[in-house]
Amino acid sequence: MNKVVSLESIEQFLNPLLSSMGYELVDVQWVTDNHRRTLRILVDRESGITLDHCSSLSREIGTNLDVQDFIPGKYYLEISSPGLDRPLKKKNDFKRFLGHTIYLQTKSPIEGRSRYKGLLEMVQEDKVLLEIDHKEYWVPFEEIAKANLVY
C-alpha cells in the first residue's frame, strides 16, 4: 500500500502555486473508491471557475507534483470548483459568506444539538453566530467539524 501524503503538506505545497496563478485553494481531499486513490482539489477565484480552468490547472498541478515526486505511487488527480455547496474551511470563508445560509456540524453537541442550518450573522475571532428560527447560536471555530454553503 502506498504511503498517503498528509493533506496539510499538500495544501502547503499547492497554496503558493495556486495563489501565484490567481486561484484560491478551497479544499484538498483524498478519496478512495474501489482501491483507486484520487487527490481531489477544489479551487476558486473571484470570477469563477470553468472547465478550461480545471483542465489547465490539472496539467500545471500534475506536472508540479510529478516533478517534485511529491506523492509516491499511483493516484488520480481531480480539479474542480467548490460548487454551490462550497465548503467553509477558513475563517475568511465564513467572513466572505456573511448573510448566507450555511449548514454546520459540530464535533460535539452545543445546546443539545450538533447540526445547524441557518443564517450566518457574525464572525468573531473564535466563533460564529448563526440565526435559526429567530434564535441565536454561537459556535466556536474549534467545535466546527464541517460547514458549507446551502444553495
Map the chain to HEC letters.
CCCCCCHHHHHHHHHHHHHHCCCEEEEEEEEEECCEEEEEEEEECCCCCCHHHHHHHHHHHHHHHHHCCCCCCCCEEEEECCCCCCECCCHHHHHHCCCCEEEEEEEEEECCEEEEEEEEEEECCCEEEEEECCEEEEEEHHHEEEEEECC
CATH number for region 91-149: 2.30.30.100
pLDDT tens digits for range 1-25:
455 678 899 999 999 999 999 999 9
Q: Say what the pTM is.
A: 0.81
CATH number for region 7-80: 3.30.300.70
Domain ranges of the chain: 7-80, 91-149
pLDDT tens digits for range 90-141:
999 999 999 999 999 999 999 889 999 999 999 999 999 999 999 999 999 9
